[in-house]
Chain A
Amino acid sequence: MPTLTLKTRSPKEEESLGSSFAGALVLHAAILGSILGWSLLSHHDQHWGDNASQAGAVQAQMVEALPLPPKVKPVQDQVLASDTPSVAPPKPEPKTEPPPKPNEVLIPDKVKPQKPLPKAEKPPAPEPPKHVQPPPPPTPKATSGDSSGMRIAQVTQQTKSGTSTVNVQERSFGDRFPYYVQAVGGKINRNWIQQEADSRASLGKKVSISFIINADGSVRDVAVASRSGSPTLDLSAVRALQRIDTFGPLPQPGLDHVTVEYTFIPQ
């Protein structure tokens, strides 16, 4: 009869079982750790064309206007002046009163017959109230340094938000070369970014900038001639001049430089 022999675990065997358990645990932990570590260390690569959400550090905002060729206002009062005149708007249809509904008809006996007034008692027609016409608002032209030498049609330009006027003092340069004066004004206009000035602090203020145009058209000695009281407005006007490389060579041969002063009025 075979004898059933039960294997008894020797303490040595138990110890090795425990150690293999420990080994398995360590191995699992190591595998888990390496997976975690790998996923942490290797950053996921995005490729061009992925539909990945993009996060950026740069905040970009719309600008309202580039200081570039400005758009002209279409000439309103001259249809012929435009290459593509707009079509005339259709004539408004004459408004007709809707016919009265039957239930709106006045009941005749409830209407008091109007007594014809005797002619003598007719009250005199009341005087129409006289409306005092307010004076037209003054255009924001420069109030300083006006001279008789300039033709207004040449120097006044209609602009987006007001008028800009170039005034020439008694020296003859502006009389002789009004187109150059206009080109200077236009170029400063295009390079002046009004948004740089704090709109609330600059309201109703004006700053005068003086500078010198050299014979080759370059600008030097830009200085604030009279402060506005709004530092941002002063700075925006100075920066407008600093943006300009050249106004073009002076048209008068032999002229060394011209001294210019411009007043900036924000609108």
Chain B
Amino acid sequence: MSRKTALLRAMVTGFVALAVICLTPAARAQDFTGTIVGSGSQIRIAVADFKPGSGDAGSLKRAFDTTLYSDLGNAGIFDLVSKSLAPTSTPGVPAEISLGQWSIAPVNAAMVAFGNLGVSGGKVQVNGFLFDAKNTQYPQVLAKQYQEEASEDSARQIAHRFADEIIFRLGGGTAGIAESKIYFVKLTGANKEIWEMDYDGANQHPITHLGTISISPRISPDSSRLAFVSLGKEGFQVKVYSMLLGRVVNFPSTGGSNSPAWAPDGKSIAFASSRSGDPEIWVSDANGNLARRITNFKGPDSSPVFNPRTGSQIAWISGRTGLPQLYIMDSDGSTVQRLTDGGYVSSPSWSPNGQFVAFAWDRKYGPGAPGGRDIYVMEISSKKWIQLTHDSGLCDFPSWSPDGRHIVYTNGPNDRASSSRIFTMLADGTQKHALTGPGADMPNWSWK
């Protein structure tokens, strides 16, 4: 027995020694180490007005400067230095900047974005730089050059692209959203058409011209196709519009169908259809073929949305227990879980990292109840939720931005489509502002 114990002891000692030998070098060879205490702060960034280069840049430069400044402010990860604090000298190239001016009070910037913009031969040329104001040895973080047709729209697009580069570098690898689009329903007279705009509300223009009621736009993950619902002679039908061909492409229409949703691989579409009587969730391929029913329960089921991270789960709204509630299930219809405990839930939107679901919720629904529809976000794993809008009228149709930092939604004083506007906010409920005027509804943020 004592021999056995001794052997065991020797083995354990040997293993511990081996573990120490294996682990020690790893613990010594870090490239950098750090300490995490509490939550992080925002990076203080200054944006210099770009220096006018050759040619008359006037209005283009103004559009560029404004767009770049607002893009960085909208990103939600920067502490933006007010332009009135910037030094009077306008640096255009790295040789002209004196970083000392930017790193001391009152600017105190950690990062400076600057550059020059010129017009020559009908082309606008932009050189943009991002410098680390407090790193005198290696200040340059980013240098970019852009050349486009000279127009205000392209100046704005260049600013979007440069802002996205900055956000990607400094935001920990999350791509910026300045180049993303928002699709929405626009009330035009008695009809509703699908419109498109930039993420900041600029450049609003129509996509469809069907002359009927078209609602629920959902852009495909590769932005090549737009699924929506349109009122025809057989009721509401799912239709698909090709952004590349610029026309509606074939999609089978059977019975009343509603609220399409793209799978993240773009290969299937989920939608609610009442072809079997009761509205149920169906999944078909991207062309509408091979439709199969995945819910089978008395009571309406609607508003499916795929988990954009995995594509293997669907969140949807079901009225199987009375008032509509938020549920999730696997995309084959199994493992059904109820997420909300009461009230009236509508329009779920799953966050891009799969962690949260945003939805509109009237927690005190019913006659005589002081109902107010607001936007809520729930963490799927813990079922904990927070309320993002308060006392600001009826809010509905939340949609996550591709970076998961913003939510766009509809807000209006009443349920009439003529008075609702599209708002955007950070995902923690701050920085709310309107993107459109009245008559816009049902926003849907593109996937990238």
Q: Which residues of A contact B (CB under 8 A)?
A: 46-52, 54-63, 65-66, 68-73, 78, 80-83, 140-142, 144-145, 151, 153-154, 157-169, 171, 173-179, 181-190, 192, 194, 206, 208, 210, 217, 225, 237, 240, 243-249, 251, 258-267
Contacts and interface: CB of A to CB of B under 8 A. Distances in A.
Given A164-B40, A262-B36, A265-B37, A66 B386 contact: yes
A192 B366 contact: no
Contact of A265 (B36, B173, B339): B36
B122 interface: no
A174 B138 CA distance: 11
A224 B37 CA distance: 17
B52 interface: no
Contacts of A208: 33
B135 A151 contact: yes
Contact of B340 (A49, A60, A178, A261): A60
A11 B132 CA distance: 117
B30 A210 contact: yes
B432 to A, nearest CB: 13
Contacts of A70: 39-42, 428
B40 A178 contact: no
12 contacts: A48-B300, A63-B379, A68-B404, A70-B41, A81-B81, A161-B37, A188-B40, A189-B40, A246-B173, A248-B173, A259-B31, A261-B27
B133 to A, nearest CB: 9
Given A179-B43, A261-B32, A267-B38, 13 more contacts: A56-B338, A58-B383, A62-B386, A63-B382, A66-B386, A68-B405, A81-B85, A140-B37, A166-B33, A174-B31, A179-B169, A248-B172, A261-B27
Contacts of A55: 342
B322 A50 contact: yes
B105 interface: yes
B431 to A, nearest CB: 9
Contacts of A248: 168-169, 171-174
Going nearest first, the 3 A-B pairs with the smallest beta carbon separation are A248-B173, A189-B40, A56-B341
Nearest to A61: B384
Contacts of B76: 69
Contacts of B322: 46-48, 50, 52, 54
Contacts of A185: 34, 36, 40
A142 B344 CA distance: 49
Interface string B341-381: 11110000000010110000000001111000000011100
A83 B307 CA distance: 39
B293 interface: no
B172 A50 contact: no
Given A81-B108, A179-B169, A163 B37 contact: yes
A71 B38 CA distance: 13
B319 interface: yes
B386 A81 contact: no
Nearest to A263: B35
Contact of B34 (A58, A167, A171): A167
Contacts of A72: 41-42, 79
B77 interface: yes
Given A54-B342, A154-B135, A168-B32, A183 B427 contact: no
Contacts of B382: 63
B55 interface: no
A264 B172 contact: no
A213 B183 CA distance: 36
A161 B38 contact: yes
Contacts of B132: 154, 178-179
B384 A166 contact: no
B324 interface: yes
Nearest to A57: B338
A56 B32 contact: no
B384 A194 contact: no
Contact of A179 (B32, B79, B141, B355): B141
Nearest to B337: A58
Contacts of B168: 248
A83 B355 CA distance: 33
Contact of A183 (B81, B85, B171, B404): B171
Contacts of A56: 325, 338, 340-342
Nearest to A158: B41
B227 interface: no
Given A60-B340, A217-B173, A71 B430 contact: yes
